Structure 1
Amino acid sequence: MTKKIRKAVFPVAGLGTRFLPATKAVPKEMLTVVDRPVIQHVVDEARAAGIEHFIFVTGRNKHVIEDHFDMQYELDHTLSQRGKKREQEILASILPKAGTASFTRQQAPLGLGHAVWCARDIVGDEPFALLLPDMLHKGETPCLKEMIEAHAAHGGNHIAVAPVPEEETHQYGIVGVKDRAAKVSEITMMVEKPKQGTAPSNLHITGRYILQPSIFALLATQEKGAGNEIQLTDAMVTLAKSEKFHAVRFDGEIYDTGSKLGFLTANMAYALSDSSLKDAFRAEAKKLLG
């Protein structure tokens, strides 16, 4: 019997240099896609998948993220005084229950693998989800929900993947699988940015993972890799020698909000799916596009 996935880790310590000067004082995870911060969209996905405990690995100047997931009594009182019940309900709906949000500091930018390792004591000895907040997954079924269902059926470790054009595989982390057409398939190989023409498939890693706690022991001794950082992929390659990894194909849309184009595209996509905005937004977009 597989253990239930109760906890999710969100690495939010990055500097967001691609969005300077906007991110000089505002964390990149707090930039908004329509009416909510990027990190809120990702937490919403985790909550919809049944996650009970939200673990944020933060860095310097990221206190705004902690404040966002906390009660702001002055604002709540003002909204109450003005009879803005709907706004109060919206804020209440995104507020984690007491004791279900944890924050730990990554003191130095040593890579994604190190950020995950920083959450080890809060995660404990149980499998956990890892969600990269830059990557928004938009689909009929939340990506993490599909992954948790796959984990319940197969156990082990899981990585969300999606197809990219063959000529672009050198830009991504790529997995090889036993059955490229299957929704869930065992992973046979993982390679970071393979040289053109050498990729084992066109399935790229999309920033959603379910990992066993055994990954922490490997990360504790993992040597620095690409970019002189402790890379999560390196530890997963080692772990795959002793534990199974499955790829879970996500069939929705994915937006990399860590890039300017991806961020702007995400705003358009989410605006067009908002029933209160889509018609007016489409009309305005047509005016701009001619």
Structure 2
Amino acid sequence: MLNKVIIPVAGLGTRVLPASKAIPKEMLPVVDKPVIQYVVEEAVSAGFTQIILVTRSGKESIEDHFDRNAELEEALTAKGKEELLQAVRNTLPTGSQLISVRQDQALGLGHAVLCAAQLIHDEEDFAVMLPDMLIDTNGESSDLKQMVAHYYEHQCGQIMVEAVPEHQVERYGIVDCGGMPPAIGTSSKLHNLVEKPTRSEAPSNLAIVGRYILPGKIMHLLRKTTAGAGGEIQLTDAIKSLVESGDLLHAFTMSGDLYDCGNKSGLLQANLAFGLKHSETAADLKAYINKIVGDGLLLSQ
């Protein structure tokens, strides 16, 4: 069964400094929950029960967030705040387990995944989720859940992608599907990956968005992968080696809205999008937006 997901949370969060100086970037809030909680909930809703955090010193608040807080629960119980009590009790969804391993050096995403190798059996497939990429599926079935279904249907690894504007391909890992890009909500065979290609070199405009389902054997490839861009061990290099060796992988095109909460603009956009849907904040936020743009019809019901 596909039940393990690796979430690397050892990054320094330099793109959101100084907010992340003393607070892990994964703990920055989107409305009333930290980003990492949304990602864990997404994983559990897709069927993953073992959440493996690859962490480092100074990130203890992430684990604390998913732990029980007896003092807080007692205070909420005494005040009769049942809804808040359930919210703080259920930060880690029922039936799931949180496991932490350490990354002692910041040597890239591939190295972070490799740090969890002792928890992955040789023939055991697993998922990888980046903790700062937040996906809003607007109430529909999650893209990750759909990708898991494609994994079982096609019996092969999956990499989630999203079409990006042509002038932005240099920012991402770009996939090559042999001229047969998958339609939204579907997957097709992956032929190659190119890390941050120039516009003229890009085989498509399908960018990797931080959701992977990979075969356990990739751990062996990561051990052999030498440092690439930025002196780091790149996960995309190991995936490329996997494809070149003949292993079947698919690219799955997501349908939801993606927010990169690892940068300031993306975090603000996520707060705006989720805030406009939250029962406690939607009305006030709509009124405020209408006020600052001077158009009372902008977000009228």
Aligned with residue 125 of structure 2, among 116, 124, 127:
127
Matched, 1:94 2:94: no
Aligned with residue 135 of structure 2, among 137, 141, 144:
137
1-structure distance, mates of 2:93, 2:290: 39
2-structure distance, mates of 1:95, 1:237: 34
- Report how far residue 279 of structure 1 moved: 2.3
Matched, 1:274 2:298: no
2-structure distance, mates of 1:275, 1:91: 18
> Does the CA-based 8 Å contact 1:177-1:187 persist in structure 2?
yes
> Does the CA-based 8 Å contact 2:114-2:223 persist in structure 1?
yes
- CA offset digits 1:26-58 (Å, max 9, x no partner): 000000000100000101110111111110000
* Structure 2 gap segments, 5+ residues each: 295-301
- State the one-letter code of the partner of 1:55: I
- Report how far residue 63 of structure 1 moved: 0.4
Query: Sequence identity of aligned pairs in percent?
Result: 46
- State the one-letter code of the partner of 2:219: F
Matched, 1:47 2:44: yes
* Structure 1 gap segments, 5+ residues each: none
Q: 1:120/1:75 Cα in 2 relative to 1: closer, same or farther (>3 Å)?
A: same
2-structure distance, mates of 1:181, 1:245: 13
- Report how far residue 277 of structure 1 moved: 2.2
Alignment partner, residue 159 of structure 2: 159
**Runs of 4+ residues over 3 Å off in structure 1:** 96-99
2-structure distance, mates of 1:36, 1:99: 18
2-structure distance, mates of 1:97, 1:34: 22
Matched, 1:180 2:181: yes
Alignment partner, residue 257 of structure 1: 261
- CA offset digits 1:249-283 (Å, max 9, x no partner): 00110000111111100100111122332222111
1-structure distance, mates of 2:292, 2:18: 25
Q: TM-score, normalised by structure 1?
A: 0.95
2-structure distance, mates of 1:99, 1:47: 7
SS of the residue aligned with 2:54? strand
1-structure distance, mates of 2:79, 2:120: 41
Aligned with residue 244 of structure 1, among 243, 248, 269:
248
Q: How many residues align?
A: 287
Q: TM-score, normalised by structure 2?
A: 0.92
- CA offset digits 1:72-92 (Å, max 9, x no partner): 111111111111111111122
Alignment partner, residue 199 of structure 1: 202
- State the one-letter code of the partner of 2:146: E
- Report how far residue 200 of structure 1 moved: 0.9
SS of the residue aligned with 2:90? helix
Matched, 1:285 2:289: yes
SS of the residue aligned with 1:240? helix
SS of the residue aligned with 2:191? strand
> Does the CA-based 8 Å contact 2:166-2:205 persist in structure 1?
yes
Q: 1:39/1:191 Cα in 2 relative to 1: closer, same or farther (>3 Å)?
A: same
> Does the CA-based 8 Å contact 1:71-1:95 persist in structure 2?
no
- Report how far residue 96 of structure 1 moved: 4.7
- Report how far residue 98 of structure 1 moved: 7.9
Aligned with residue 81 of structure 1, among 78, 81, 97:
78
Matched, 1:11 2:8: yes
- CA offset digits 1:147-201 (Å, max 9, x no partner): 1001000122110001011122122110011421432111111101111222111
